[in-house]
Amino acid sequence: MERTIISASLLLFAVSTAQAQDRQVVDTVANALKAQGVMTAQGKFELEPSFSYSQNSANRISILGFTQVPALLVGIIEAEDADYTTFTGALAVRYGLTNRIELELRAPWVYRYDSITKRVASQNDETKTLTSSGGGLGDIEAAVRYQFNLESAPYWIGGLRVKSDTGRSPFEQALDENGIFKDPATGSGSWSLEPSLTMIYPLDPAVIFVTGGYTWNMETDAARFDITRDGETAGDGSAGDFDVVRLPGTNKVDLGDSFFLGMGMGFAVNDRLSFSLGINHRTVLESSLNGRKSGEVLQIDSLTTGFSLALNERTSLNWSLQAGLTEDAPDVQLNFGIPIRF
């Protein structure tokens, strides 16, 4: 009888990289989901070290001046190119409480390198490159997932993820005189709660998956800073030593909540290799500062493809590539994971 491997979590991986995990070798995709379920088997552990790379860029042009005639602009034109690179190493532990319930704990370590190049087109054409880099512990996450049915397809899985604020908060880090972080943030700065619902429908040898959910970001405090020069407020642009001073009191920041939807298909190529293809959408609502709306609604769409290769009966290699489709989405993100079952 042909033996086909199914990486059930690889299907979810196309939607949420934190859920990437491989499953046991089974007779067929359909029988695997029916007999074993999608969750980690009862009493079993799974350990997954992972690594991801993310690259994002942004361009902005600012014009300060006035037009004398349609073809003549008097003033300053400033062009800004920003590149943000993030490396994340993480370790996830999963435990099968029952055949229907799975628990997960994930701890990431994040390193960021930000580079901003400013070009000022004026009488003295200037180019300035500003960099900021640093790493540290990211936001630790805990999750619980429950498979509602085992007997017949489609299979429904409910999830609840809690994200902490253990990473370095962007609201507690001071900016330098150039307006960039001295130490880049490694976390979002707030706790969040994310319920989700996933549907998996096996059509041997393929599996169709759809997932959706809502992310609620809790309100948090933001420190207040000011840039001073020799004890006085800087602002005239003159030379001198600048200091960042923390002011008393805090601001109240409420990051915009978001809802997401993803769908795609996984396909078993042979007894060791499977791949998936999916598309993801997330809408991020407006944030607020001290109760007043700030920012704008973001539309984040991406296309994801992934592969899973069984190295042996206990270990596999998962890989995925995510490409941004909208301006707000990261340009590219690479993810690697090696789930090991015990």
For 121-167, write each residue's pLDDT tens digit. 655 667 778 888 999 999 999 999 999 988 888 999 999 999 999 99
What percentage of the chain exceeds 70 in pLDDT? 75
pLDDT-derived band of residue 22, with 50, 70 and 90 as boundaries?
very low
pLDDT-derived band of residue 96, with 50, 70 and 90 as boundaries?
very high
* Mean pLDDT of all residues in 161-177: 87
pLDDT-derived band of residue 77, with 50, 70 and 90 as boundaries?
low
Assess whether pLDDT exceeds 70 at residue 15: no
Assess whether pLDDT exceeds 80 at residue 271: yes
For 40-75, write each residue's pLDDT tens digit. 889 999 999 999 999 998 776 555 545 444 445 445
In this predicted structure, what is the pLDDT of residue 61? Answer: 59
User: In sequence order, which residues have a C-beta less than 8 Å from that of residue 330 and are 6 or more positions away?
Assistant: 54, 55, 56, 302, 322, 324
Q: How far apart are CA 103 and CA 124, in angstroms?
A: 60
Q: E strands, 97-165, where?
A: 101-121, 126-137, 141-147, 155-163
Neighbours of 47 (CB within 10 A): 14
* Mean pLDDT of all residues in 290-294: 85
In this predicted structure, what is the pLDDT of residue 28? Answer: 34
For 299-332, write each residue's pLDDT tens digit. 999 999 999 999 998 999 999 999 999 988 989 9
pLDDT-derived band of residue 76, with 50, 70 and 90 as boundaries?
low
In this predicted structure, what is the pLDDT of residue 24? Answer: 32
* Mean pLDDT of all residues in 171-189: 81
In this predicted structure, what is the pLDDT of residue 143? Answer: 97
In this predicted structure, what is the pLDDT of residue 5? Answer: 32
For 204-223, write each residue's pLDDT tens digit. 778 999 999 999 999 998 87
In this predicted structure, what is the pLDDT of residue 60? Answer: 64
- Average pLDDT over the chain reads 80
**Please, how many CA atoms are within 13 Å of residue 45, restricted to the half-sphere of its CB?**
6
CATH class of 4-341: mainly beta
In this predicted structure, what is the pLDDT of residue 270? Answer: 86
In this predicted structure, what is the pLDDT of residue 81? Answer: 80
What percentage of the chain exceeds 90 in pLDDT? 47
Q: How far apart are CA 151 and CA 146, in angstroms?
A: 14
Neighbours of 267 (CB within 10 A): 15
Backbone conformation region of residue 303, classed left if phi is above 0, alpha if psi is from -120 to 50, else beta: beta
The better pLDDT of the pair 246, 255 is held by 255
For 218-253, write each residue's pLDDT tens digit. 999 887 766 665 544 444 444 445 566 777 878 898
- pTM here is 0.80
